[in-house]
C-alpha cells in the first residue's frame, strides 16, 4: 500500500455570541499529522499485514468546564460582586495557558424562596457570563438549600416541591473535565426535611465524574476554628461550611494531587496533596480582596487539570479486518505528543483483486481527524484533517 500524507489546516471553533460580545478562547492549534511506518505494504488475500501508525498531535487546549453554585444570601454579596469583576481576567489567563474553558452559574438562597435558579449553562466565556451575574438577586431568610442546588446542577432532575423545573443542569460537555465550585458561608444542611441527602449528592458527583470544590466565605480572622470568623449576622458559621465542604471533597475524591493547590496566587500550596480541595475566601472589603476569587479559580483549574484521552480508530469496509494494538493513550494535550501503535490489516481470503476502503482516525478531546485509504490490493492514499469536535453535552 502506498501512503501519501497531506497536511490539513486547523479550523477554529465558531462561537455564536451576542453582537459585540467577544468570546475568550485559546489559540487555534497547529495541524496535526498522521503517518505510517511503511510506504508500500502488500497484503495477500487471506493474510495479515502489519505496520505502525503514528499520530503527531500538536499542542492544543485542554477542555475544562466549571460551574459556579453560588449562595446568594445577602451576606454573600461581596463575593459575587468580586467574581463578576475578576472572572473575565482569570478566564483570559487560563485560555492563554492552554485551557479551553467553559463556565456557567446558578444561585440559591432559601429553600422556600430560591432553592435553585440556573442563570447560565456552561458555555464559552463571553459577556453572557457577566449578564448572568447581573441577574443574581440577593435575599433569603431561611436555610440555604445547598444539596438541593448542587443536585440540580448535576442532574437537572427538577424539584417540583419547590417549583424548580427539570432540565436546569450545568450543561457540561461530555468530553471535558468537569468542576462545580460552591461558594457559601453556611454548612451543607440535611435538616430542611426535603430534597436529596449528602450521600446521594456525593454519589452523583462520583458517577458523573465531576469534581467538587468548596469556597467557604469568612470575615476577619479566617483561621480554622476561630470563634470570631462567622459573618456579622452571627447566623452562619463558615468553619462549619468548610467542614461540610471537606467532607464532600473527601466523599467525591476531589483531593489535591502533585504539589497541591495554590488558592491565593502566592506560589505556596494552600491545599496539600491528599487534602480535599477547599479554598477559604476572605470577605473583608480591603484592597487585597479584588484578586481572591480570580486566584481561587485559576489555582483550582490548574491544580485539578488531568491528562486527556486520545483514541486511534479504524473504520474498515466489507470483510476487511483491522486491529489497533493500543487504541487509547492518555496525554497532556497542552504539550506536543507523538502517539504510536502497531496496526494489523487482515485481508479476506477472497480479496484477490479487491479494494476495501478503510478510515484511520485520531480523536482528542477537542478535535478529530481521519485518514482515508484502500487496503489489501492496490494503493492507500491518505490525508489528515484536523477539525473541531462539536460541543456535545
Q: Do residue 230 and residue 287 come from a single domain?
A: yes
196: domain CATH number is 3.40.50.410
Q: Do residue 246 and residue 186 come from a single domain?
A: yes
**Cα(82)–Cα(68) distance, integer angstroms:** 13
319: domain CATH number is 2.60.40.10
Q: Do residue 56 and residue 193 come from a single domain?
A: no
Q: Do residue 169 and residue 84 come from a single domain?
A: yes
Cα angle 136-141-147, degrees, rounded to a multiple of 5: 70
Which of these three, 256, 273, 304, is where a domain ends?
Answer: 304
**Cα(280)–Cα(30) distance, integer angstroms:** 39
Single out the residue of 184, 232, 175, 159 nearest to residue 79, CA to CA.
184
- Whether residue 215 lies inside any domain: the answer is yes
Single out the residue of 385, 380, 386, 387 nearest to residue 37, CA to CA.
380
**Cα(244)–Cα(312) distance, integer angstroms:** 42
- Whether residue 346 lies inside any domain: the answer is yes
Q: Do residue 273 and residue 215 come from a single domain?
A: yes
pLDDT of residue 233: 40
Q: Do residue 96 and residue 194 come from a single domain?
A: yes
pLDDT of residue 237: 76
Residues 107/70, Cβ–Cβ less than 8 Å: yes
pLDDT of residue 4: 25
Which of these three, 304, 333, 348, is where a domain ends?
Answer: 304
pLDDT of residue 165: 92
- What range defines the domain where residue 331 resides? 33-60+307-388
What CA–CA distances, in Å, run from 29 to 10, 58, 388?
6, 7, 10
Q: Do residue 76 and residue 189 come from a single domain?
A: yes
Express as a percent the part of the chain with pLDDT over 90. 42
272 Ramachandran zone, left/alpha/beta (phi>0; psi -120 to 50): beta
Can you read off the three cell numbers belonging to residue 95? 485560555
Which of these three, 268, 284, 304, is where a domain ends?
Answer: 304
Cα angle 257-258-259, degrees, rounded to a multiple of 5: 110
Q: Do residue 223 and residue 182 come from a single domain?
A: yes
pLDDT of residue 10: 28
pLDDT of residue 102: 96
pLDDT of residue 349: 82
Can you read off the three cell numbers belonging to residue 106? 446558578
- Whether residue 269 lies inside any domain: the answer is yes
- Whether residue 10 lies inside any domain: the answer is no
In sequence order, what DSSP letters do the residues of 198-222 get, joined into one string?
A: HHHHHHHHHHHTEEEEEEEEE-S--
Express as a percent the part of the chain with pLDDT over 70. 78
pLDDT of residue 8: 27
Q: Do residue 112 and residue 253 come from a single domain?
A: yes
- What's the structural domain count of the chain? 2
pLDDT of residue 13: 29
Across the beta sheet with 367-376, the strand order is 328-331, 308-316, 355-363, 367-376, 387-388
Gyration radius of the chain's alpha carbons: 25
pLDDT of residue 211: 97
**Cα(190)–Cα(198) distance, integer angstroms:** 7
- Whether residue 352 lies inside any domain: the answer is yes
Can you read off the three cell numbers belonging to residue 332? 497532556
* Residue where the block lists cell 469556597: 215
pLDDT of residue 226: 45
Identify each DSSP E strand in 27-116 by its residue range. Answer: 33-36, 48-57, 62-71, 99-108
In sequence order, what DSSP letters do the residues of 280-294 get, joined into one string?
A: -EE---STTGGGHHH
Positions of the chain with pLDDT lower than 70, given as ranges = 1-20, 39-41, 141, 191-193, 220-236, 284-292, 365-393
Q: Do residue 296 and residue 374 come from a single domain?
A: no
pLDDT of residue 319: 79
pTM: predicted TM-score of the whole model, two decimal places: 0.80
Q: What is the DSSP letter of 125?
A: B
Q: Do residue 220 and residue 355 come from a single domain?
A: no
Q: Do residue 319 and residue 276 come from a single domain?
A: no
- Whether residue 27 lies inside any domain: the answer is no
Q: What phi and psi values does residue 111 have, to the nearest 5 degrees?
A: -60, -30
Single out the residue of 153, 129, 43 nearest to residue 375, CA to CA.
43
Question: Could you give the 3-state DSSP secondary structure of residue 358?
Answer: strand
Amino acid at each position: 500500500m502506498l501512503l501519501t500524507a497531506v497536511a490539513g489546516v486547523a479550523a477554529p471553533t465558531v462561537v455564536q455570541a451576542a453582537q459585540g460580545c467577544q468570546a475568550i478562547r485559546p489559540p487555534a492549534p497547529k495541524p496535526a499529522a498522521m503517518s505510517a511506518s511503511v510506504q508500500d505494504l502488500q497484503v495477500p488475500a487471506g493474510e495479515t499485514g502489519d505496520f505502525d501508525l503514528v499520530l503527531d498531535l500538536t499542542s492544543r487546549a485542554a477542555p475544562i468546564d466549571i460551574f459556579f453554585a453560588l449562595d446568594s444570601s445577602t451576606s454573600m454579596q461581596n463575593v459575587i460582586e468580586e467574581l463578576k469583576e475578576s472572572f473575565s481576567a482569570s478566564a483570559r489567563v487560563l485560555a492563554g495557558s492552554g485551557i479551553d474553558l467553559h463556565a456557567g452559574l446558578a444561585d440559591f438562597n432559601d429553600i422556600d424562596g430560591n432553592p435553585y435558579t440556573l442563570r447560565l449553562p456552561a458555555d464559552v466565556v463571553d459577556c453572557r457570563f457577566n449578564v448572568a451575574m447581573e441577574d443574581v438577586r440577593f435575599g433569603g431568610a431561611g436555610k440555604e438549600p445547598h444539596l438541593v442546588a448542587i443536585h440540580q446542577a448535576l442532574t437537572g432532575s427538577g424539584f417540583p416541591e419547590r417549583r424548580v423545573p427539570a432540565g436546569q443542569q450545568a450543561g457540561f460537555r461530555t468530553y471535558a473535565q468537569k468542576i462545580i465550585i460552591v461558594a457559601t458561608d453556611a454548612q451543607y444542611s440535611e435538616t430542611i426535611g426535603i430534597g436529596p441527602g449528602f450521600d446521594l449528592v456525593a454519589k452523583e458527583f462520583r458517577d458523573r465524574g465531576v469534581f467538587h470544590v468548596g469556597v467557604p466565605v469568612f470575615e476577619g480572622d479566617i483561621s480554622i476554628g476561630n470563634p470570631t470568623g462567622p459573618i456579622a449576622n452571627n447566623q452562619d458559621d463558615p468553619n462549619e461550611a468548610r467542614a461540610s465542604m471537606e467532607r464532600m471533597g473527601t466523599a467525591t475524591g476531589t483531593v489535591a494531587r502533585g504539589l497541591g493547590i495554590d488558592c491565593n496566587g502566592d506560589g505556596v500550596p494552600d491545599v496539600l496533596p491528599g487534602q480535599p480541595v477547599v479554598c477559604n475566601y476572605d470577605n473583608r472589603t480591603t484592597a487585597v480582596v479584588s484578586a481572591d476569587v480570580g486566584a481561587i479559580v485559576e489555582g483550582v483549574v490548574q491544580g485539578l487539570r488531568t491528562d486527556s484521552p486520545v483514541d486511534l480508530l479504524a473504520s474498515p469496509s466489507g470483510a476487511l479486518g483491522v486491529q489497533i494494538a493500543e487504541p487509547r493513550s492518555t496525554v497532556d494535550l497542552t504539550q506536543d505528543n507523538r502517539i504510536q501503535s502497531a496496526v494489523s490489516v487482515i485481508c479476506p481470503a477472497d480479496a484477490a483483486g479487491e479494494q476495501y476502503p478503510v478510515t484511520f482516525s485520531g480523536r482528542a478531546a477537542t478535535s478529530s481527524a481521519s485518514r482515508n485509504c484502500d487496503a489489501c490490493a492496490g494503493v492507500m492514499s491518505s490525508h489528515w484533517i484536523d477539525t473541531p469536535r462539536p460541543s456535545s453535552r
